[in-house]
Amino acid sequence: MALLQISEPGESTAPHQHRLAVGIDLGTTNSLVATVRSGMAVVLSDELGRPLLPSIVSYGRESGGGGEFIEVGYEAQAKQSIDPKNTIVSVKRFMGRGLRDIAHIETMPYDFVAPDGGVKAGAAEGMVKLRTAAGVKSPVEISAEILKVLHRRAEAALGGSLSGAVITVPAYFDDAQRNATKDAARLAGLNVLRLLNEPTAAAIAYGLDNGAEGLYAVYDLGGGTFDISILKLSRGIFEVLATGGDSALGGDDFDQRVFCWIIEKAGLAPLSASDARMLLTRAREAKEYLTLHGEAPITVRLGSGEYVDVKLSTAVFSEITRTLVQKTLSATKRALRDAGLAAADVKGVVMVGGSTRMPQIQHAVGELFGQEPLNNLDPDKVVALGAAIQANLLAGNRAPGEDWLLLDVIPLSLGLETMGGLTEKVIPRNSTIPIARAQEFTTFKDGQTAMMIHVVQGERELVADCRSLARLELRGIPPMAAGAARIRVSFQVDADGLLSVSAREQTSGIEARVEVKPSYGLGDDEIAGMLKDGYTHAADDAYRRALREAQVEAQRLLEATRSALAEDANLLSESERNHVDASVARLQGVLVGDDRHALDQAMAQLGQATAEFAARRMNQSVRRVLSGKKVSEIQI
């Protein structure tokens, strides 16, 4: 008799076998890998005991025409100033982005390549690439090199092959950026158990380590991204109530402000790429030094021979970065409004990311919430620790009684285009994921056999003001009268925040499906702008939506009237026909304008002009149906 292996859902079929799983924080400045050992989440260090891996990759070629070589981490960091063009830092900022999305980032010595092969060719579809000494590399390939090192570190420390990994991403990463991260992990040989939002990972680490319950804010300022999440932590449940942030705001921007201040203070001429990278490195060092000191000396001899010797005070640093801090506070206040909360309702503020060590950040956050932020876990490590706890759970290493539910959200609304260029939101922003929603639509014209479905993302009422994600065609719809077909459009967002859309005509069963993978992601100005515009243009959007809906209804009325006239014009006298034609012409004349009152009046006038005509057509139809039948044959 064959024996079956039986296990509880989510648990290993062999409880004595601990599956090796890790959590990875793929950061803009530094990356980490962590795992759960003896019930405790710990960060895994390299052979020299260093937990952090600088997210830097350097490419080169062996002398004498040899093959390419790649250095990652501290070895690559040493080459920032020596070979800045081939030493890639902050590659996370390029993940899932096009040339247009990164045009605002300054002091980049890289040779960017558009997907069509053009260098710096402007706004090109697809993810940007970088030309290096080892050939053209995509951000996915570069990120994969960092993940490979972490993969090897984990297997060496754990003494075996990994069963899977949870990779963290900023909460504001869109579909393209999440897909790019997942592709990089696969390229590094990792089995991705889940993509996990960074603030949520931090909440897991704090919630499970400290037994926290209540409402919490997770303020996550990393090297290149900022996220704010409002969470409700209760026994076994982690529920994200709202999220916000900026996917292109982080410690790098603070470094840039110091860099510009040094140039202005020292009166420097335009710098070479290597001098600029050297000065930017000194700017970062000064920023970090000011965490514990009131003044930071900046001295450096540039390759041009110029000597820089300035001192940066805490007061000056706070002043030149004040607008950056304010941007994070504005996003935080917006997230609180979305959650329907006041700052006083929040029990604790979890600080995540090395950039939160800056004194002005600590002060600003503490002042906003009226309490000292939580710093009892290392802000550099907390995301990786939370990811490790989630990975351990997903791998089936659940301990008895360890059962909890993670409820994350999407940052922007998802919907599709309807007649008149209107946005119909199918899944509103801050909806808990995974989620599936469906909505029924119909055809606009008689005999319509195909439908174009346009998937969009954003908060505005008109498609022109939202971000286009994908298009799919549904063909083979049986010819029917306008409004008779039933097309069910289904949206599904998985636990990784990735979207798929399908459309099905209910009577025939024909179906179309698309995995939504935009060419590149939303820029920081687009994401923040979408939310801001949703608030500032709410009244105007409502009017424009109502106008478009009225125009669609007017178009439908015109087509129905013309169709009726083509069939039964003989039911009207000459004067009645002239009156109807005049009403049709008036409605046609105001259809393209923006006068809603005139449009409503013209529709009402046409309705009055055709009321008697409609009644005669109805009577004629009834007579045709009853003609030649006995009273006893008529069913009431």
Active site (catalytic) residues: 25, 92, 198, 220
Q: SS3 string of 482-509?
A: CCCCCEEEEEEECCCCCEEEEEEECCCC
Output the DSSP codes for 39-101: TEEEEPP-TTS---EE-EEEEEE-TTT--EEEEETHHHHTTTTTSGGGEEE-GGGGTT--HHH
Residue 577's identity, in one-letter code, is R
Q: In whole angstroms, how far apart are CA 179 and each of 55, 92, 175, 183, 456?
A: 19, 13, 6, 6, 17
Do the Cβ atoms of 90 and 70 come closer than 8 Å? no
- Token pair belonging to 209: 């380590």
How far is residue 636's CA from residue 626's CA, in Å, rounded to a whole number? 12
Instruction: Please return the burial class of 339, using the count of CB atoms within 10 Å of its CB with bins 0-12, 13-18 and 19+.
Output: buried
- Give the distance, in angstroms, between the CA of residue 158 and the centroid of all CA atoms in the same chain: 33
How far is residue 98's CA from residue 122's CA, in Å, rounded to a whole number? 9
Count how many Cα atoms sit within 13 Å of the Cα of residue 124 in the half-sphere of its side chain: 16
Return the sign of the alpha-carbon dihedral for residues 241, 224, 413, 332. positive
State the residue for tokens 């009726």: 564
State the residue for tokens 């510009």: 260
How far is residue 461's CA from residue 592's CA, in Å, rounded to a whole number? 19
Q: In whole angstroms, how far apart are CA 464 and each of 328, 424, 468?
A: 28, 13, 9
Instruction: Please provide the size of the chain in residues.
Output: 636
| DSSP-based three-state secondary structure for 192 | strand
List the one residue out of 153, 564, 203 whose CA is nearest residue 408.
203
How far is residue 187's CA from residue 185's CA, in Å, rounded to a whole number? 5
Output the DSSP codes for 377-391: S-TTTHHHHHHHHHH
Which residues, in sequence order, are bridge partners of residue 501? 491, 514
What are the backbone angles phi and psi of residue 396, rounded to the nearest 5°?
95, 20
